Amino acid sequence: MSDTIQRQLLSALLDKYERSIFFREGIHPTRRIMLKLYDNGQSDFPQYNIEQSEKRILANRAVLAMAEKRLVFYQWMKGEENHIIAQIWLNLENLPMAYEFAGRQPKNEKIDDVCFEILDVLDKVKVLWARQYLQDLYETISRKRDLGNRLPEAEDERKELFRAIQFIDGMGDSEVLERVFSLQCFGDSKQFERTVKSRLLSVLRKYLDTEEDARDEELLRQIGIVKYPEQFEFCGDVKLSFACGTVDFSYLRYGGNVCSADLLRGNLVITSGVERILSIENRANYIDYIYKHKVDNELVIYHGGQYSPSKKKFFHAVAKAMPTNCGWSHWGDIDYGGFSMLARLRREITQDISAYRMNVQELKRYSNLTASVTHAYAEKVKSLGLRSELNDCKECLDYMVSNRKKLEQEAMLTDTE
């Protein structure tokens, strides 16, 4: 029993030491790392109960035993010598012995081990969001000397998160069902959902270029983890040719769709009569446009949110199949997400994509339907103005920042051109 109490007291003292500024700053303490066992009825160690003599005597014996080992110092309560201990404090000269006796790994050693784990993963991954996350993680933990809530304390949970990140990095532009991903990565179809998914989503929400209110499904789809195979929706003179024949989508007046797997095994052909491609972010606007406004020489594509690796392949196929006299426009929300999608299309697919109805005139026209944004959100929008892909959109971005406004596409359905 005495050994148990000794370890409990030492652990409480070591916890206090590891929370101190001396530990964080890596400097020698200039004051005692102390526990008050009894102070006017209060105690930093609830097990020290002077009303229960057996517990008090056991605790006193534990303190005296540790003092003999030179692990701690102590002080009797004035007037209660050999009866009530007022306070104990660490012998900082014997910290290694204290950790060893408490059966604990010194926190500095643990932090160093975790930092090496992070650097090892950082050395192996290439995808930008993961590298940014790991770099920030390393810099923060090595500086603050504390994991906080940035990583799990348990080594096996950390390794599962890092294993998932490395597996995703190795997927490249492929798409995998969530349960299949879990099975391939962990050997258990539900392990990802049980232990890794929520923490990974927090990372993605911070490091992917996306809106703050993006759904979990959208975030995972952006890195290639999906609930079901993706379908690409479009309307226009498009054919998909296979070795066994050709599917002509031009007969579908209100559009059709193709599965990602079929796209990969076929060859996309856009007929020479198509003079304009229009990608539309929101489904309601996509449907409204093809029903009311589409003309014969247009190919209209449903973009959706930030696109997945599979949809990226679809957009590349579209860009490759574009007739020489054809232009591409994109219509998205007039907000951070909409412009970041336009920037990404220009950066990853083709730079010759123009913005459609994403301008100051539309913000003014639908001013009664705009939404106010926070200062932090406006700063994010301001950062978009620094991207070379959006030089032609700077007037609109500046207007959004100065007026703290954004506009969703659906608002334009009240009076669509």
pLDDT tens-digit series, residues 246-288: 999 999 999 999 998 899 899 999 999 999 999 999 999 999 9
Give just the sign of the alpha carbon dihedral 251, 254, 260, 261.
negative
Average pLDDT of the chain is 93
Q: What percent of the chain has pLDDT over 90?
A: 78
**Residue that is written with structure tokens 């500024």 in the block:** 21
Q: What is the pLDDT of residue 1?
A: 57
Neighbours of 362 (CB within 10 A): 19
* Gap between the Cα atoms of 118 and 322, Å rounded: 44
* Gap between the Cα atoms of 181 and 190, Å rounded: 10
Q: How confident is the model at residue 51 (pLDDT cuts 50, 70, 90)?
A: confident
- Asked whether the predicted pLDDT for residue 416 surpasses 80, the reply is no
| 90 membership: H or E segment, kind and range | strand 85-90
The whole-number average pLDDT for the span 351-372 is 96
* Gap between the Cα atoms of 287 and 295, Å rounded: 14
Q: What is the pLDDT of residue 180?
A: 96
- Asked whether the predicted pLDDT for residue 393 surpasses 50, the reply is yes
For residue 74, CA distances in Å to 85, 131, 196 come to 7, 49, 45
- Asked whether the predicted pLDDT for residue 390 surpasses 90, the reply is yes
What angle in degrees, to the nearest 10, is found between the helix axes of 128-144 and 197-207?
100
Q: What is the pLDDT of residue 26?
A: 80
The first and second tokens of residue 74, run together, are 């102590």
Q: What is the pLDDT of residue 123?
A: 96
- Asked whether the predicted pLDDT for residue 297 surpasses 50, the reply is yes
For residue 291, CA distances in Å to 55, 236, 286 come to 81, 12, 9
Q: What is the pLDDT of residue 187?
A: 96
- Asked whether the predicted pLDDT for residue 328 surpasses 90, the reply is yes
* Gap between the Cα atoms of 213 and 205, Å rounded: 9
The first and second tokens of residue 23, run together, are 């530990």
The whole-number average pLDDT for the span 228-241 is 95
Rounded to an integer, what is the distance from CA 345 to the centroid of its chain?
A: 22
Q: What percent of the chain has pLDDT over 70?
A: 99
Q: What is the pLDDT of residue 27?
A: 82
Q: What is the pLDDT of residue 415?
A: 67
The whole-number average pLDDT for the span 71-92 is 93
Give pTM, 2 decimals.
Answer: 0.76
Q: What is the pLDDT of residue 401?
A: 97
* Gap between the Cα atoms of 344 and 230, Å rounded: 20
Q: How confident is the model at residue 39 (pLDDT cuts 50, 70, 90)?
A: confident
- Asked whether the predicted pLDDT for residue 77 surpasses 60, the reply is yes
